[in-house]
């Protein structure tokens, strides 16, 4: 697909180490999702979803080149990069709203990444797996764009031909100390949240680390620890753990 505006979006993204940019037809995506996880629920005018992600070590290299990793806040850096893309679209007269990736969240981001062609969601672990980078990728945000400013969007999914878990010995199943995975998707995220809230699995997800696909691209230790730790507050909020147990679920989803 050739679009000068899309090419500019990609340049902005790549300059910040966001090396995965995909387009998803919102109507086609919503057709495969339950009502509460549809993009149209969040943005009724949405016709195009721009999916932004990072894979391998490129993002951390961009970030650490300009910041002190000892005082790391790469998530803020990513948010600022996404906001810059939003502003560029606004200058071009394109309306959009940003939905930062979260788990649990208002959209199933692993499935959105799959629809964008980033990889396939594992039927064993539920992780999004890239053909080259394996589980070492992250969907950072989704831009819910009004209409179709980039033109018609072909189906980019590769899940019909990329099946990395077939024939695998599945070391990820035995690696999880909380037995969150039973070999079928979806994962028991509530169990994961409770296990981690109790102080376990502080520095890494052993399921991700056990995956043999893309092992040479695994996060450096500092990024892995930050990435893993950053997800814990979101899990606590999503499943009402800690102080969040006093907040009703419908309010937790809005905060």
Q: What is the pLDDT of residues 11-62, one digit of tens each?
A: 999 999 999 999 999 999 999 999 999 999 999 999 999 999 999 999 988 8
At 71-92, the pLDDT tens digits run: 667 888 889 999 999 999 999 9
Are 138 and 219 contained in the same domain? no
Nearest to 72, CA basis, from 236, 238, 221: 221
**Number of folded domains that form the chain:** 2
Are 130 and 175 contained in the same domain? no
Q: Final residue of a domain: which of 113, 146, 179? A: 146
Determine, yes or no, domain membership for 242. yes
d(CA 119, CA 159): 7
What average pLDDT does range 130-150 have in this prediction? 96
Q: Which residues pair with 235 in a beta bridge?
A: none
Determine, yes or no, domain membership for 155. no
pLDDT category at 202 given cuts 50, 70, 90 is confident
What average pLDDT does range 108-122 have in this prediction? 96
The structure tokens listed for 147 are: 């209409």
Q: φ, ψ for residue 55 (rounded to 5)? A: -140, 140
State the CATH number of the domain containing residue 106. 3.40.109
Domain that holds residue 194: 171-252
| Percentage with pLDDT > 90 across the chain | 67
Determine, yes or no, domain membership for 152. no
Determine, yes or no, domain membership for 156. no
Q: Is 70 exceeded by the pLDDT of residue 245?
A: yes
What average pLDDT does range 172-188 have in this prediction? 83
- Can you give the pLDDT at residue 1? 58
Are 61 and 131 contained in the same domain? yes
Are 122 and 217 contained in the same domain? no
Are 92 and 207 contained in the same domain? no
Q: Is 90 exceeded by the pLDDT of residue 248?
A: no
Determine, yes or no, domain membership for 159. no
Are 20 and 67 contained in the same domain? yes
Are 22 and 142 contained in the same domain? yes
DSSP type of residue 33: S
Q: Is 60 exceeded by the pLDDT of residue 255?
A: no
- Can you give the pLDDT at residue 53? 97
Q: Which residues pair with 54 in a beta bridge?
A: 138
Q: Would you call 154 helix, strand, or coil by DSSP?
A: coil
- Can you give the pLDDT at residue 56? 94
In this structure, the number of other CB atoms found within 10 A of the CB of residue 127 comes to 24
Determine, yes or no, domain membership for 118. yes
- Can you give the pLDDT at residue 141? 95
Are 139 and 178 contained in the same domain? no
d(CA 216, CA 188): 28
For tokens 């890239």, what's the residue? Answer: 130
Are 88 and 204 contained in the same domain? no
d(CA 119, CA 158): 6
Are 12 and 121 contained in the same domain? yes
Are 176 and 141 contained in the same domain? no
Determine, yes or no, domain membership for 164. no
Determine, yes or no, domain membership for 182. yes
Are 128 and 11 contained in the same domain? yes
């Amino acid at each position: 697909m050739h679009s000068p505006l899309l090419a500019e979006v990609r340049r902005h993204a790549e300059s910040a180490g966001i090396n995965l940019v995909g387009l998803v037809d919102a109507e086609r995506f919503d057709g495969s999702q339950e009502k509460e996880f549809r993009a149209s629920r969040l943005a009724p005018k949405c016709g195009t979803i721009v999916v932004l992600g990072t894979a391998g070590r490129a993002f951390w290299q961009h970030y650490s080149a300009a910041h002190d990793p000892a005082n790391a806040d790469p998530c803020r850096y990513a948010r600022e990069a996404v906001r810059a893309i939003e502003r560029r679209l606004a200058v071009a007269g394109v309306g959009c709203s940003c939905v930062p990736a979260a788990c649990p969240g208002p959209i199933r981001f692993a499935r959105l990444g799959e629809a964008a062609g980033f990889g396939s969601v594992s039927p064993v672990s539920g992780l999004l797996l890239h053909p080259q980078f394996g589980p070492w990728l992250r969907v950072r945000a989704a831009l819910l764009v009004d209409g179709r400013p980039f033109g018609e969007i072909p189906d980019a999914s590769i899940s019909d031909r990329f099946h990395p878990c077939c024939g695998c010995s599945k070391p990820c199943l035995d690696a999880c100390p909380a037995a969150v995975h039973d070999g079928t998707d979806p994962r028991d995220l509530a169990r994961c949240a409770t296990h981690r809230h109790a102080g376990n699995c502080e520095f890494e997800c052993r399921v991700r680390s056990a995956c043999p696909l893309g092992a040479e691209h695994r996060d450096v230790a500092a990024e892995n620890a930050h990435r893993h730790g950053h997800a814990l507050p979101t899990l606590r909020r999503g499943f009402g753990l800690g102080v969040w147990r006093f907040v009703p679920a419908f309010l937790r989803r809005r905060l």
